[in-house]
Amino acid sequence: MTTSGISRRGALRMFGIGALGVAGAGVLGACAPSGAGTSSNSGDTKSKNFDFTSWSLNEEAAKPSIEKIIAAWEKDKSSKVRAVSYPYNEYLSQLTLKLGGGETTGAVHLDIAWLAAVAQMGKLADLGSVALKGGYTNVALNSGMYDGKQYGLPWNTGSIGVIANSKLLEKAGIKKHPATVEEFEGALRELKGLGGGVVPYAAATKVAQLKDIFPWMQTFGCTLLEDDRVTIGDDASIDAVTWYKKLHDEKLIAADVDRFDARALFGQGKAAFYDDAVIGKGVTAAQSKDKTLADAMQPMKRPVLRSGDTPQALLWGGVIAIVKGKGQDAATEFALHTTSDRATTTEYFAARALPPSTTAGLDDPKVAQDTFTTEWTEKITDTATGSPFWQFAQNAQIEEAVAKQVQAVLVGKSKPKDAMKKAAEEVTDLIKR
Amino acid sequence: MTSTTSTPLSGTDRLRPSATSAGRTSRRRMRKDLLRSRIAAWTAILVIGAFGMLPVYWLLATALSSPEQTFRFPPKLIPTDITFSNFTALAENDQLIKYLVNSLIVASITAVLSVVVATYMGYSFSKFRYRGRRSLMHMVLASQMFPQALLLVTLYAVFSSFGLLNTYTALVLSFTTFTMPLCVWMLKGIFDTIPDALLEAASIDGASRWRTLHSIVAPLAAPGMIAAGLFAFVRGWNDFIFAVTLADKEKQTLPPGLVSTYIGEFQTAWPELMAASLVVSAPVVVAFMFLQRYLVGGMTAGSVKS
């Protein structure tokens, strides 16, 4: 008689085989030759041909402009640039795998939050001497640095800050942007008084975007990290989360809001403030029925705890890094050209509203005449800083760990002190890995 | 004096009025109970049905909505601003057509390869006795235990060394790693239900083992083979992570293709994405419509042993 059932011995055998298989697969993976593929990144550095990897090559809004830059370069230098792209949400893991496997060569577009993780792989070239030729702003240059080395040439430098709806502020009788946390709270109450389902501040309350709490923690005086010691859990971070909870309980911020919801609320004129990157203006205005909304959108300095404090904002942007090996020299020239050539950066700004990273680019009339961008750079990007957690490959898990604890406070499952203590423990564990 | 005599009521008659009324009450109660249970059953079916169909409805509603309506907060259940532009835009997107063709090629070859290999393996496991048979069977099943990420990294390294990255071969082989084990076990279960006497009779009639398998066993196991093929096709059709890692834009299939095309850093083109998802799921729906009787038959074929 045939049997297809699994006996206890059979199950044990199966687990044994499974465990051996997993170990074997691990060993096979570890022993597999790196860069044995056809396009190893340990090839000819003088090659005129190279790859350019960017998630933006997938995106409808960005693709034509980038293809134009590539086409112009190819024509000018009689070279061939292979455009490679992965979806944004998969980009870092794909790039890490392919860079490690020797499949990625040339120039690589990186979100500044990923630079440290990629630089730690030891495959990126130091562009310190090249960066001096670009005329980049100091903030921009810093966004491409890791461990004292210039691994990325800044392409677009911006920040994530607060956007205000001047029409709603006017309606609530608020004459100027609130400068302190106290004034901000007062303004939120005034806006709440408007009724009609207005969410005064469409702050992030969903885990996906609750990393927006970090600048508020910094506003209250928490440094997040000091010499590899996590400072989340100190009085300042607890105060920040307690304040956030207060806003939540008083319905000055709403439950279950992420960036998409915030944009939707703001686009319908139901939110007076929300956090977004500089590009948020175009994205939100495009979704809105109100064609005058774009004019009403204003960048606002994040309120400070005490007058005279530095407003906090998270640096945001992209850099182009160069993979050591095949096509390195030509790719470096291409990166320098793309990020600092005035005509190229201005044209790219006109197409995407992403602020250039050079002084000359920012001074270009086409950029300077854009009041929103100029104000954004002056009010927000000027004092923006990168997250101290970006240096860790586990940055995403760190942000999620803190976000989950903050959410637990918002929904009343945890006290701010306990939650921040737990968050600190989890982040410390993640950093040690 | 007139005396009236009355026939005493029999026991049954005496009980009849009350028994009838009790019977009526009981029947009424039964009818009521039946009605109640029917209403409860229908309500449950409707609720579960609505729950199951809501994602499909939402897909359709979003595909027919304008971007402004899609981002309305709170969302509206019934779209008022209907547009077909999201569907017409699809036809103009050559890259999406390429992804669709890639998906068809890769998923079909995966299905055929999985069924062919699983047929021989399943038949061997079911009808032959040899040393290590059970270990081999368990090894096939144990391969399902590998974390996908681990398999992916290993396959990536192996395909890279063989120069197979960015080819249909890499996709088909990688998809087969997770479709074949279940196909093998499924088909083994089906072959188990085919009586050994039938094979012996074929052998007595002079049929070779090869002929027995192809002319006698395979037609009997056809529903199961179709079911296994459908399973493999759908798994291949839906895979995202292997396709995005092992193939470049030229060879990529629909799931990563759709994500690349519509999900960006700053926003997701939900209406277009939903329209595309609706259109590209059509081949799978059509395949199921035509082959569902085989699917049901095949899935249950191994449940009763001879």
pLDDT in tens, B110-125: 999 999 999 999 999 9
Residues A417 and A240: their CA atoms lie apart, in Å, by 11
Query: Is residue B7 over pLDDT 60?
Result: no
What is the reported pLDDT for A288?
Answer: 86
DSSP class of residue A318 equals E
Contact call for A94 and B142, based on CB within 8 A: no
Residues A215 and A100: their CA atoms lie apart, in Å, by 34
What is the reported pLDDT for A143?
Answer: 92
Among the partner-chain residues B135, B145, B259, the one whose CB lies closest to the CB of A87 is B259
Query: Is residue A33 over pLDDT 50?
Result: no
Q: Which residues of A154-166 are buried (b: 16+ CB within 10 A; e: fewer)?
A: bbbbbbbbbbbbe
CA distance A384 to chain B (A): 20
Query: Is residue A229 over pLDDT 90?
Result: yes
Q: How confident is the model at residue A39 (pLDDT cuts 50, 70, 90)?
A: very low
Residues B145 and A289: their CA atoms lie apart, in Å, by 50
Contact call for B147 and A22, based on CB within 8 A: yes
Mean pLDDT throughout A43-47? Answer: 83
Q: What are the residues facing A253 on neighbouring strands? A: A201
In sequence order, the 6+-apart residues with CB closer than 8 A to the CB of B300 are none
Q: Which is more confident, B72 or A112?
A: A112
Residues B286 and B275: their CA atoms lie apart, in Å, by 17
Residues B194 and B198: their CA atoms lie apart, in Å, by 7
Q: Which structure tokens are listed for A105? A: 């060569």
User: Which residues in B lie closer than 8 A to residue A57 (C-beta atoms)?
Assistant: none
User: Which residues in B lie closer than 8 A to residue A26 (C-beta atoms)?
Assistant: 150, 154
Query: Is residue A22 over pLDDT 90?
Result: no
- Residue-wise pLDDT for A105-143, tens only, equals 999 999 999 999 999 999 999 999 999 999 999 999 999
A136, A345 Cβ separation under 8 angstroms: no
User: Which residues in A lie closer than 8 A to residue B261 (C-beta atoms)?
Assistant: 58, 60
Mean pLDDT throughout A184-203? Answer: 95
Q: Give the chain B residue whose CA is nearest to the CA of A86.
A: B260
Mean pLDDT throughout B163-179? Answer: 93
B57 has a chain A CB within 8 A of its CB:
no
What is the reported pLDDT for A9?
Answer: 59
What is the reported pLDDT for A34?
Answer: 43
Among the partner-chain residues B145, B153, B192, the one whose CB lies closest to the CB of A18 is B145
Q: Give the chain B residue whose CA is nearest to the CA of A88.
A: B265
Q: Which of B253, B250, B244, B263 is nearest to B284 (CA)?
A: B253
Q: Which structure tokens are listed for A423? A: 């968050």
Query: Is residue A306 over pLDDT 50?
Result: yes
Q: Give the chain A residue whose CA is nearest to the CA of B186.
A: A4
Among the partner-chain residues B138, B249, B268, the one whose CB lies closest to the CB of A85 is B249
Q: Give the chain A residue whose CA is nearest to the CA of B242.
A: A94
Chain Cα centroid distance, residue A141: 16
Residues A198 and A176: their CA atoms lie apart, in Å, by 19
User: Which residues in A lie closer than 8 A to residue B260 (C-beta atoms)?
Assistant: 58, 85-87
ipTM: 0.75
Contact call for B67 and A286, based on CB within 8 A: yes
Query: Is residue B3 over pLDDT 50?
Result: no
Q: Which is more confident, A229 or B13?
A: A229
- Residue-wise pLDDT for A350-399, tens only, equals 998 889 999 999 999 999 999 999 999 999 999 999 999 998 888 989 99
Chain Cα centroid distance, residue A35: 29
CA distance A38 to chain B (A): 7
Q: Which residues of B284-299 are buried (b: 16+ CB within 10 A; e: fewer)?
A: beebeeebeebbebbb
- The residue of A1, A7, A14 whose CB has the most chain B CBs within 10 angstroms, and thus the best one to mutate to test that interface, is A14
Among the partner-chain residues B150, B189, B261, the one whose CB lies closest to the CB of A22 is B150
Q: Which of A379, A202, A204, A235 is nearest to A300 (CA)?
A: A379
Query: Is residue A232 over pLDDT 60?
Result: yes
Highest mean pLDDT among A87-91, A308-312, B22-26: A308-312
What is the reported pLDDT for B40?
Answer: 95
User: Chains A, B: CB contacts under 8 A, how many?
Assistant: 135
Contact call for B150 and A15, based on CB within 8 A: no
Chain Cα centroid distance, residue B85: 31
Bridging pattern class, strands A199-201 and A271-277: parallel
B185 has a chain A CB within 8 A of its CB:
yes
Among the partner-chain residues B67, B138, B150, the one whose CB lies closest to the CB of A14 is B138
Residues B239 and A18: their CA atoms lie apart, in Å, by 23
> What values do phi and psi take at B82, rounded to 5?
-80, 135
B142 has a chain A CB within 8 A of its CB:
yes
Contact call for B157 and A28, based on CB within 8 A: yes
What is the reported pLDDT for A118?
Answer: 95
Q: Give the chain B residue whose CA is nearest to the CA of A317.
A: B265
Contact call for A36 and B160, based on CB within 8 A: yes
Contact call for A101 and B157, based on CB within 8 A: yes
Query: Is residue A236 over pLDDT 70?
Result: yes
- 10 Å CB burial of residue B276 (0-12, 13-18, 19+) is buried
- Residue-wise pLDDT for B25-37, tens only, equals 888 888 989 999 9
In sequence order, the 6+-apart residues with CB closer than 8 A to the CB of B226 are B291, B294, B295, B298
Contact call for B71 and A270, based on CB within 8 A: no
- The residue of B266, B270, B272 whose CB has the most chain A CBs within 10 angstroms, and thus the best one to mutate to test that interface, is B266
User: Which residues in B lie closer than 8 A to residue A6 (C-beta atoms)?
Assistant: 138
Residues B286 and B111: their CA atoms lie apart, in Å, by 16
Q: How confident is the model at residue A169 (pLDDT cuts 50, 70, 90)?
A: very high
- The residue of B162, B165, B267, B306 whose CB has the most chain A CBs within 10 angstroms, and thus the best one to mutate to test that interface, is B267
- 10 Å CB burial of residue A279 (0-12, 13-18, 19+) is buried
The whole-chain average pLDDT of chain A stands at 89
Contact call for A32 and B260, based on CB within 8 A: no
Among the partner-chain residues B146, B160, B267, the one whose CB lies closest to the CB of A103 is B160
CA distance A417 to chain B (A): 33
B124 has a chain A CB within 8 A of its CB:
no
Residues B184 and B207: their CA atoms lie apart, in Å, by 25
What is the reported pLDDT for B17?
Answer: 57
What is the reported pLDDT for A4?
Answer: 44
For A353-407, give the DSSP string.
Answer: -PPBSBHHHHHSHHHHT-HHHHHHHHHTGGG-B--GGGGSTTHHHHHHHHHHHHH
- Residue-wise pLDDT for B85-110, tens only, equals 999 888 888 888 899 999 999 999 99
Contact call for A97 and B135, based on CB within 8 A: no
- The residue of A1, A4, A56 whose CB has the most chain B CBs within 10 angstroms, and thus the best one to mutate to test that interface, is A4
Query: Is residue A1 over pLDDT 50?
Result: no
Q: Which of B49, B18, B68 is nearest to B270 (CA)?
A: B68
Mean pLDDT throughout A92-101? Answer: 92
Q: Give the chain B residue whose CA is nearest to the CA of A30.
A: B154
Query: Could you tell me the pTM of the whole model?
Result: 0.81
Contact call for A264 and B141, based on CB within 8 A: no
Q: How confident is the model at residue B179 (pLDDT cuts 50, 70, 90)?
A: very high
Query: Is residue A95 over pLDDT 60?
Result: yes
Q: Which is more confident, A162 or B71?
A: A162
In sequence order, the 6+-apart residues with CB closer than 8 A to the CB of A247 are A185, A188, A201, A203, A253
What is the reported pLDDT for B281?
Answer: 84
Q: Which of A258-262, B1-5, B169-173, B290-294 has the lowest mean pLDDT?
A: B1-5
Chain Cα centroid distance, residue A115: 11
- Dihedral through CA A132, CA A135, CA A136, CA A137, nearest 10? 110
- The residue of A17, A104, A289 whose CB has the most chain B CBs within 10 angstroms, and thus the best one to mutate to test that interface, is A17
B167 has a chain A CB within 8 A of its CB:
no
